[in-house]
Structure 1
């Protein structure tokens, strides 16, 4: 792994391990996530935080070595099929009874790490157990898209970073009326509560209105903003004196709606942190995130990981979402912290969720200044590219599975086991294929086939534009299609 100082990272990782161990207080760590390898960037790194490796992971997809937790229960094991579409969110019913029995067999109350502290996780944790996740009511209020303008103004975010929008509560007006009221021909219609691009419809002409009207209200309607989408991971920690410390990771370049990899409109095809941003814009994002974090602390006592989504225009970044939770970017974004000499912020999140102080991070001013420096570019940074099945397929029996591969021309060859993006220097042709199904698994259209991950100084970025693959990304996609026996060029 490339990083600022191996010894400094090792010292901090050991420090973080001791604090998380104290927070767990002898309770087994159980991770609840569709990917049964959640947290792998922390525990499968060359300088790991050992306490972050779960005793048990509950999820949908099969784990792989060396990313595997101590034990996993995965819905995919029992069915031999990786679900597609919205079925990927229904895996819990298939393993709930088995999971409850296994947790009871520990003989100790667990700590269950989830995205949200939902009631069924509290029931699973049982007496004496704990759920490490953001409260559902806090998430609901902060993520309310129909209220984002009010939230940003309450947090005193500069007006130039707020997208003009209107909220409709009873019904959507006609397209003509909305265009006149918003002042734009292209519109974005969003349900108040949605995630992962679900609940967002781009309205370009009258034919899109049926889909928009089918979304549950209330609705936020805004002008379509041209530019690069971006995700920024943020961590809020109590400062011990009644206030909050806000740590801001570097903003990504996020490609949206890349049809070639099976990703639909408004949905993310992955993120790349290697491409530079103007430092003035990054400073604006850090200042806005700090103000939002302070507002969320005052109003809701928000602690832990959250994030903001931005769109970068020629005039600078504007904020289009606040996400009060871990996100799909959380895993790989943790590599940014390791490359700067710190354990992933996700470890601090878990420790803080258990009401234990986190003391291994520096001041936010120190951390956030380093973020601005890193975004100038030219230094190694992580990326990931999502790839979905575009037609039904069954992984060949000789498919090696997740691990490190070498890309030579348009061919991928197995290079060895691996679980961490920084083990794959993509500028030299290596790539981590992560989260892939095991050989023989059937994947219907829309199933998540894999993520391609690595680090790059920019040459191996998979994206060339806000919705486009780079030449390298297209080559990588063709090689993965060939590797998984997906007929090249089908459904492109």
Structure 2
């Protein structure tokens, strides 16, 4: 059961966000038009977080509907890897007329601010997101270790690495970082792009295709992880820093159609060692304070780490922006009886003072305590693994599904929030399912599998493997799809 959020906190978060918006319409521009749904649906919704207009790749569904929706899929009727990356160009002619119809200049929420988004916002409009140029400076993979040193992060969390403009031979890389497998990274990228694991000479051509300079790091075996962090300006010229519990992230799960270095989803229900969580919290606090002093940046950011089998933790990436984890990680704050971080993030982006968060040291101490206990939300990404185009059979809208003894998925009710599913009864929320008229191509996003678990049900068995339950759900989900012949596409 989700705890009820204190009515006073909810009211304060809602009022402060409304003050920041000042009557301006909130517009979401993200791949999923239902972004923010864990905040405006579920047991304790904040109505101010429901966008008046949502722009993205995939349509919303009834239980998760914001206001008006502009989805590229309405135009293309296709899901594919190419459409996933190129959806913005599909909606560029439709969005302006929807924005003009709004009665005031919009506030656009997105991962980070770009020139294109500022053009969409138009005169008097606002993009409530971190500046893309600053994001590039902070997230650039080749400078991550310099950032950790400048911020004063504990030396024990840093991975041995080198920085080179041109890649030498693999033997030299192995000698200089000390591991047989090396991790080559370059650029400012997300979703695993810009990262290549080099285990032997056959991997070097892929690494060489990246545009340098390069960060070449020792390979660290263990669980990948993501931690959501919020920094909020205080009254004394600094920032208050709130650190969420870290996840366990499975990467490169081929059985789910997830490629190397790419996330298969996150699980916040697995316990962490106390010392490792404490190191993440300390590092996050130092990084947030330094980034505020250096660049004047505040708001949401993500800190990626690796948890080794012997309980050590190493930081490997920073993402100063909203992320793919932002949606479901918000449930962690709700489980603590608090409004989600995103409400404070948007207020900060709009220059509004945030008063409802409480003492950050108490919050982070509680994070360390909670992270050592089982229980929390999870999500798993599902990609179409069929060899050719396919469409889902009619009658399978997004919502809560139960995996029956027959290993078939049965829709049991509407839903939009991970807590809508009772995982003790083998229920999951299948979010963002396509309609039966949509042609899905191999590799397309066909759903996210979500829930809140006490820890008995686990989505992943290991750093690169799905659990038996997830594999059963994934197989049953694929059984809902029927092949589409070329003439049907």
Which TM-score band applies after superposition, normalised by the shorter structure? over 0.9
Partner of 1:331: 327
Q: What is the rounded CA distance, in whole Å, between the counterparts of 1:371 and 1:422 in structure 2?
A: 20
Which residue does 1:490 correspond to in 2?
A: none
Task: Say if 1:275 and 1:377, in contact at 8 Å, map to a contact too.
Answer: yes
Mapped pair 1:390 → 2:385? yes
Does residue 94 in structure 1 map to residue 90 in structure 2? Answer: yes
Rounded Cα–Cα distance in structure 1 between residues aligned with 2:333 and 2:54: 24
Q: Show the counterpart of 1:210.
A: 205
| 1:230 Cα offset (Å) | 0.4
Aligned partner (choices 165, 171, 174) of residue 179 of structure 1: 174
Shift in Å, 1:483: 2.6
Q: Post-superposition shift, 1:78?
A: 1.1
Q: Which runs of 5+ in 1 are unaligned?
A: 488-492
Query: 1:483 is matched with which residue: 476, 480, 485?
Result: 480
Aligned to 1:65: 62
Residue in 2 that maps onto 1:245: 240
Q: Which SS does the other structure have where 1:202 is aligned? A: strand
Instruction: With the length of structure 1 as denominator, give the TM-score of the two structures.
Output: 0.95
Q: Secondary structure at the match of 2:217?
A: strand
The partner residue of 2:186 within 186, 191, 203 is 191
Equivalences for 1:273-312 in 2 at 5 Å?
273-312=268-307
Measure the CA separation in 2 of the matches of 1:266 and 1:272: 17
Asked if 1:319 is matched to 2:312, the reply is no
Whole-angstrom distance in 1 between the partners of 2:182 and 2:83: 29
Quick one: which of 27, 35, 38 aligns to 2:35? 38
Structure 2 CA distance for aligned equivalents of residues 117 and 323 of structure 1: 14
Of residues 412, 415, 419, the one that matches 1:418 is 415
**1:7: Cα distance to partner?**
5.4
Following TM superposition, by how much is the alpha carbon of 1:166 offset from its aligned partner in structure 2, in angstroms? 0.7
CA contact (8 A) 1:377 1:457 kept: no
1 CA distance for matches of 2:61 and 2:212? 41
In 1: Cα distance, 2:35 partner to 2:483 partner = 27
SS of the aligned residue for 1:66 comes to helix
Cα deviation digits, residues 135-194 of structure 1 (max 9, x gap): 11211111011111111011111111000111111x211111211222221000011321
Spell out, residue by residue over 1:10-36, the C-alpha distance to the aligned partner (whole angstroms, 9 max, x if none): 332222111111111111111000000
Q: Is the 8 A contact 2:392 2:436 kept in 1?
A: yes
* Alignment partner, residue 158 of structure 2: 162
Offset of residue 486 of structure 1:
7.5
Find the counterpart in structure 2 of residue 435 from structure 1. 432
Contact 1:399 1:484 survives alignment (8 Å): no
Q: Which of these residues, 356, 359, 377, is aligned with residue 352 of structure 2?
A: 356
Corresponding residue of 2:217: 222
Q: Deviations over 1:253-312 (max 9, x none)?
A: 000000011000000000001110011111111011000111111101111100100001
For 1:449-468, what per-residue CA distance to the aligned partner results, in whole angstroms no more than 9, with x for missing partners?
A: 11100010112111000001
SS in 1 for 2:197: strand
SS in 2 for 1:172: coil
Aligned residues: 481
2-structure distance, mates of 1:393, 1:347: 39
Distance 2:452 2:424 in 1: 8
Structure 1 segments, 4+ long, off by >6 Å, are none
> Deviation of residue 315 (structure 1)?
4.6
- Secondary structure of 1:94's counterpart equals helix
Using the TM superposition, name which of 137-146 and 394-403 deviates more: 394-403
- Greater mean alpha carbon deviation, residues 354-363 or residues 33-42: 354-363
Offset at residue 436 of structure 1 (A): 1.3
Could you tell me whether the CA contact under 8 Å between 2:402 and 2:428 is conserved in 1?
yes
The DSSP-based 3-state class of the residue aligned with 1:229 is: strand
CA–CA distance in structure 1, aligned partners of residues 249 and 236 of structure 2: 36
Are residue 473 (structure 1) and residue 479 (structure 2) matched? no
Retained in 2: the 8 A contact 1:253–1:271?
Answer: yes
Answer yes or no: is 1:464 the counterpart of 2:464. Answer: no
Within 5 Å, which residues of 2 pair with 1:402-413? 402-409=398-405, 410-413=407-410
Secondary structure in 2 matching 1:116: coil
* Mapped partners of 1:19, 1:66: distance in 2: 26
- Cα deviation digits, residues 413-461 of structure 1 (max 9, x gap): 1111100001112122111000111122111111111110001011211
Distance 1:427 1:486 in 2: 33
Change (3 A) 1:223 1:69: same
Give the whole-Å Cα distance in 2 for the aligned partners of 1:223 and 1:196. 20
Structure 1 residue 479, shift from structure 2 partner: 1.7
Aligned Cα RMSD in Å?
1.4
Q: Give the drift of 1:75.
A: 0.3
Structure 2's unaligned 5+ residue stretches are 485-489
Listed one character per residue, the Cα deviations across residues 373-413 of structure 1 (whole Å, up to 9, x for unaligned) are: 211223x3100010101233332342422101112221211
Distance (Å, rounded) in 1 between the aligned partners of 2:392 and 2:158: 49
Q: Would you say the 8 A contact 2:2–2:43 is kept in 1? A: no
Contact 2:276-2:311 at 8 Å conserved across structures:
no
Judge conservation of contact 1:426–1:455 (CA < 8 Å) in 2.
yes
Aligned to 1:51: 48
